[in-house]
Chains A and B, each alone.
Chain A
Amino acid sequence: MNGDTAFHHGDAPAGAPIVEMKDIEKHFGNIIALAGVSFDVHPGECHCLLGDNGAGKSTFIKTMSGVHRPTRGEILFEGRPMSFNSPRDAMEAGIATVFQDLAMIPLMSVTRNFFMGREPTVGRGPFKRMDVDRMNAVTMERMREMGIALRAPDQAVGTLSGGERQTVAIARAVHFGAKVLILDEPTSALGVRQTSNVLATIDKVRKQGIGVVFISHNVRHALAVGDRFTVLNRGRTLGTAKRGEITPEALQDMMAGGQEMAQLEGSLGGTV
């Protein structure tokens, strides 16, 4: 299928992308999870990565966030080639990821989770300690901004609902000055109201000039906030479309594997 080039008419927004991924391949032993995927994100846009289960979405963003090293391909961060050895490297560069499996520890308090791995300290030498008061205050404040009332900053994350946990993770990424925020299926396990809250949060984050990569297999959720849409199928990109240039039906068909190519081409304006 050569849809890869054919659908690349969703021009990128003006300006340089923050992250550009070129022909990324990822093999796990003899499994080819990604067979050449290109993708970019610009500041202040929400670029949706769509695809059915097993399409390779999670694997792809894990190469972007330093969890996996790509087998082949190039990652440019602010125009420079980058190779991340760990999620920490990527995080320090400004790529924050809210993983599908969330990276939250239920037994730990919201504050401890919020600052996990990046605890602010006061004091020096052997008396260097976490700035607990500030950590608690920041956590309460950031969560309130996102519309979540914590009982106490030491409330265990395990007692929060799924949407609230997503929000903690997003708030954490924003607080630490992410330039790119990657959200892996943040809405897939949520109810209607919690989903709306998360989508509204994505919109807020984008308006702050952060580039958002929003992964979903739900077309309606993607269309609600997305600026551009890239569809992944069986480890390949089927194309990128801009907001307003594609109908939900066309996106849906593309995700299903492109069997309805003719119909899809029609809706894209017959440029193929």
Chain B
Amino acid sequence: MNFLITFKVAFRALARNKMRSALTMLGIIIGVAAVIAMVSVGQGAQASIQDQIASMGTNMLMVGAGSMNMGGVRSGTGTTNTNTLTVDDIEAIKRECPSVAMATPSVRAGSQIIFGNQNWNTSLQGVNEEWPKIRKWLVQSGEFFNESDIRTANRVVVLGQTIVDNLFPGVDPVGQTIRVRELPFRVIGVMAKRGQDSGGRDQDDIMFAPYTTVQKKLLSITHIQFSYISAISPAATYTAEQQITDLLRQRHKLGPNQENDFFVRNMTDVAETADETNRIMTILLGSIASVSLMVGGIGIMNIMLVSVTERTREIGIRMAIGARSSAVRTQFLIESIVLSVFGGFLGILIGVLLSVLIPKLLGWPTLVSITSIVGSVLFSAAVGIFFGYYPARKAAGLDPIEALRYE
């Protein structure tokens, strides 16, 4: 007897009992849908974090004033009153660390800005002319300030998109004058749009001015809070980190038992940590979902076993009229494979649907991977074979006379 006919026999048997077939499939449907949805959530998070880190530049390092205690008591927030980091430190890093390509000091001031009769609360970040290159963040219109603006502490600003959208609807901001803490600043450029970061914060609600201007005219300080540094290549970030640490310890005259009064953060590290965390989360979500897939498989075996007992007479009839045991075994095996694979396909549909709905309903990014789809199909087929084999063998091993006599 050929395979196609056994397939037909199995299909008819399943169709004869639609309710039971549907309920049996439910376990697999839920299992597969869960695997696909969970893995897509995990991978979506991973992808969005990777995106962000890549957009920051993988060869970027950040140096901050203050220490990063292990206990996190004084976590390096680089506040205005931590004055351990200076512009000279940054100049020295540029000069003396061979793995460093570019560096900018950074000071921040929260401030209200006024244009015409409108105002807006935002923050002003003071940096040098290398900022767009270090952060790989380009100017969209107008231009960024240059070295002479830094030297003369010019009152010029480059605005983020959010500020433009709110203060200059329908007006070209370049060339306009805004007031920051009572001082007039000339707008010379607008940054390209960046969107939200992983924490959902708007990265475009910011503006940039020469760090010298922010230090002298707004904050009246001589130290800086942060420095953003670009290593000569992504691979050089670790040596750059070492060189910076050594140099700053030496410049700050720290003894061997004194802890750093600064911290260096390496984006590659951040990327790897985030990646690892996410990978673990994906595996965890995937395994939890796989357990439900296993439970679904056991459900199939359960029903198939009950089915073999319940259909003993049917098996006896089939054997009496000439079905070989192999045909009976194949029939039951196909029944369970059809149940699990068909359930698997429905599960994929629902899983993909969930992956599309989750970003809309919960705001989490998702990424449906082919691996998880192919994996679930193979897994559900394997579930069908594995959990269907025992009941099928049991059915094929029945004695036709005993089976016919079964009530």
Does A pair with B? Answer: no
Interface residues of B (CB under 8 A from A): none
Interface residues of A (CB under 8 A from B): none
